[in-house]
Amino acid sequence: MAHIKSTDGLPGIRGLFAFRPETATPLCKLSDVLLHQLNSLSPAYRELIATYVAYQNDCFYSQTSHGAIEAHHLGGDTKRCWL
């Protein structure tokens, strides 16, 4: 459940980035380091962790987006993640 009302109609964290654009750049850089740069975890495993965290936060938007990216990394059908 969101604690900040976003009136721009953007889902998930994108609405928060629009609400406070000065926070978008550092958070996107952090996300890039955690999810995309080389480290000891595979990209699919990192997306699995992100999907689970989104589930724990009850954020359907993040669950489905990270789940679709995870399916892509595993060679699966990303369209099924959006159903």
Is residue 5 in a domain? no
Is residue 23 in a domain? yes
Is residue 2 in a domain? no
pLDDT in tens, 20-42: 889 888 988 887 887 777 777 78
Per-residue pLDDT of the chain (83 residues; tens, 9 = 90+): 556 666 667 777 778 888 888 988 898 888 788 777 777 778 788 888 888 988 998 888 888 888 887 777 777 655 554 44
Cα–Cα distances in Å, from 21 out to 13, 54, 64?
11, 21, 23
| Predicted local distance difference test score (pLDDT) of residue 3 | 65
Question: Domain total for the chain?
Answer: 1
* Cα 6–chain centre separation: 17
Is residue 3 in a domain? no
Is residue 31 in a domain? yes
Q: Domain residues for 22?
A: 12-82
Say how many C-beta atoms besides its own lie within 10 A of residue 75's C-beta. 8
Rounded CA separation 24/32 (Å): 12
